[in-house]
Amino acid sequence: MIIRENSFDDIESFIEHLKKNENIIGIVEYGGRTYKDMSIGGDYDLTVIFDKPISTNFTGVHFHIKDIPVDCMLLSKEDFMSDIPQDEFMLVHLNCKIIYDKDNTISELSKRVQTTWGTSRDLSDFEKMMFRFSFKHVLDKLEHRLYDNELYTKYFIYSSMDWFLSCYARINGWEVGKPKLHLKLIEDQEPILFHIISNLYSENCLEKQFELISKCANYMLDSIGGLWREDEIIFHLLPDGKNDEVEQNEFLDILMN
């Protein structure tokens, strides 16, 4: 555990301090707070971009400035040179604001990732099959077992909704890791689904909650074939695998006949 105080009066003074570091070539911010906002509530998100990687052990640091939590990614320009982001959280940089650009490098990197990372990517067969299976798997684990452990049932329902919402965001091509935004989009564009979700979280009866999460699952998967059916055989595909039914049927002949 590292206990270390800082002397910054506000976030802006921290930003000005960073600009003096010759190894830092840029700073970007994202999320709901700007570096000039010191109001109470919420955190501040930024990425500090170095000329070269600074560590093989960490890529970020968390601390406070005047009671405001600061979530600071620590990246290098190399992290923006790949054609595919190293993880989904890198996609926040598609919607960031440049607040420091030492030599116009960050502006050029931003243009690059908008082209390479920002290209819409269709759902893969792997994702479709995984979503259809996993949603049904959640419901199967709940059905007929709601009262085996009521506390765990409630926990499992709510945690599964996190998964459902993230998958639905992927199906719709929404920005990754923004559940608040996703719920707002649903509220504005899909009142039926929003009503189901709202009722799920306000309902206390486990049978009603199960009914509502089942409706939610069916609604969310409708565009990709719906839930895994009881009379359907579904394969677990490789991430880059294709849903080749000819190959699958040939294998089933070996496995089951």
10-60 pLDDT per residue, tens: 999 999 999 999 999 999 999 889 999 999 999 999 999 999 999 999 999
Cβ–Cβ under 8 Å, residues 98 and 107: yes
Q: How much is the mean pLDDT over the chain?
A: 94
Percent of the chain with pLDDT over 70: 99
C-beta neighbour count of 47 within 10 angstroms: 23
Residues 11-37 as b/e (b if ≥16 CB within 10 A, e otherwise) read bbebbeebeeeeebbbbbbbbebebee
Q: What is the pLDDT of residues 49-78, one digit of tens each?
A: 999 999 999 999 999 999 999 999 999 999
> Residues 1-9: what's their mean pLDDT?
92
Q: Please tell me the distance from the alpha carbon of residue 82 to that of residue 88, in angstroms, as a whole number.
A: 13
Residues 244/126, Cβ–Cβ less than 8 Å? no
**Which pLDDT does position 176 carry in this prediction?**
78
Q: What's the number of CA atoms in the CB half-sphere (13 Å) around residue 132?
A: 22
Domain definitions of the chain by residue range: 11-116, 125-256
Class of domain 11-116: alpha beta
The whole-model pTM stands at 0.77
pLDDT at 120 over 70: no
What SS3 class is residue 208? helix
* pLDDT above 80: residue 153: yes
Q: Rounded to whole angstroms, how far apart are CA atoms 109 and 94?
A: 11
Query: What single DSSP character describes residue 257?
Result: -
Give the tens place of pLDDT for each residue, 214-238: 999 999 999 999 999 999 999 999 9
User: ∠ CA(186), CA(135), CA(160), 5° rounding?
Assistant: 70
